[in-house]
Chains A and B, each alone.
Chain A
Amino acid sequence: MSVLRPLDKLPGLNTATILLVGTEDALLQQLADSMLKEDCASELKVHLAKSLPLPSSVNRPRIDLIVFVVNLHSKYSLQNTEESLRHVDASFFLGKVCFLATGAGRESHCSIHRHTVVKLAHTYQSPLLYCDLEVEGFRATMAQRLVRVLQICAGHVPGVSALNLLSLLKSSEGPSLEDL
């Protein structure tokens, strides 16, 4: 199966699964560790992938949230993300996809303009988060945010759905989103 669909499997009991897609292995691993350290009432499962499509041989649980990590320092990262986006089903973009731009702190190293990523997120109607994953403090905060979003996307928070959250996060100015 080459396309990821959001609701093709039944959810695991008290389990929430997040898929981090990005080219920087070290950053992804660090982010995953920070997320797992978070105090959460549900079981967390973090999957890391360099790109989609994922091999269908592996038996994996239902994925609740996909985070595409784009490194603003490398054009290859953006290209990889755009390629992987093709393998995601359209219904995923109803709140279960998130873009994370890292490396914005060091302006001199950025080869991708911020506007590009903003447009990408706007095209896919998904929220865009900025975080310098190399800095421990920011990473921990971002991990916390992601855990909360993941809980909502997995349906563990009664009264709030992923779509609800998405519409809450949209601001009237357009494709720029501030905080959760």
Chain B
Amino acid sequence: MEEQPQMQDADEPADSGGEGLAGGPPQVAGAQAARSEDRMTLLIRLRAQTKQQLLEYKSMVDASEEKTPEQIMQEKQIEAKIEDLENEIEEVKVAFEIKKLALDSVLMDNMKHLLELNKLIMKSQQESWDLEEKLLDIRKKRLQLKQASESKLLEIQTEKNKQKIDLDSMENSERIKIIRQNLQMEIKITTVIQHVFQNLILGSKVNWAEDPALKEIVLQLEKNVDMM
């Protein structure tokens, strides 16, 4: 039997903190982000490890505080005791699992409830947003209509003004004056001609009362003059 054992240290940092990222992205920024993520994962993993190891040490300390039986027991008795202890451990484990399941189910219920409420909230928010959109559209349309009506009224007004101006200008235009003068002239001429006809008929000492045509001419001429 050899007293001098051979010792070989085979170290290999199989650090898979960069697993999958060994052939990393060429951009520096991308690689740096990945590295910081690795560090985070590494730190979280180390934390979990340290917790677990602390738990182990604590449990060993607790176990060593328990008093071990002093007397030397038979092997069978030791085995029986070991079995009892193992059964105890199993029972505790099972109870723990049951409790965990119960808690998990309650937790699951709460989380489901939360999810449903969140969905509801999102739906209501979406609806209210849609309604606001519609309101906004309608307001825009109203504004547009108002503006349109305003412009139309303006147009009407300008048209009316234009017409009035035209009318006034027409009345004051020169042409009308000339035409009026001509008209007056014609009227005067007609009056003169009428008077001439009247005087002709009267001067001829014809009995114009007997002849209806002559009577008509004399009387009518008077009327014409008056009508002007």
Contact = CB atoms under 8 A, between A and B. Distances in A.
A11 B55 CA distance: 13
Given A91-B60, A155-B53, A161-B52, A44 B14 contact: yes
A54 B46 contact: no
B14 A14 contact: no
Interface stretch (B4-12, B134-142, B174-182): B4-12
Interface residues of A, number: 42
Contacts of B56: 7, 155, 161-162
By secondary structure, the A interface counts as: loop
A50 B8 CA distance: 11
Nearest to B64: A91
B90 interface: yes
Interface string A90-107: 010000000000000000
Contacts of B53: 11, 154-155
Contacts of B12: 36, 43-44
B84 interface: no
A83 B45 CA distance: 38
B10 A52 contact: no
A150 to B, nearest CB: 12
By secondary structure, the B interface counts as: helix
A41 B13 contact: no
A58 interface: yes
A25 interface: yes
Given A7-B57, A39-B16, A49 B5 contact: yes
Residue with the highest number of chain A CB atoms closer than 10 Å, among B45, B51, B53, B93? B53
Contact of A32 (B10, B16, B46): B10
B70 interface: no
Contacts of A46: 8-10
B66 interface: no
Contact of B86 (A13, A36, A170): A170
B158 interface: no
Given A155-B52, A155-B53, A38 B14 contact: yes
Nearest to A6: B60
Interface string A24-51: 0100010011001011111111111111
B156 interface: no
Interface string B10-26: 11111111010000000
B49 interface: yes
Interface of A: 7, 11, 13-14, 25, 29, 32-33, 36, 38-52, 54-55, 58, 60, 80, 83, 91, 125, 154-159, 161-162, 167, 170
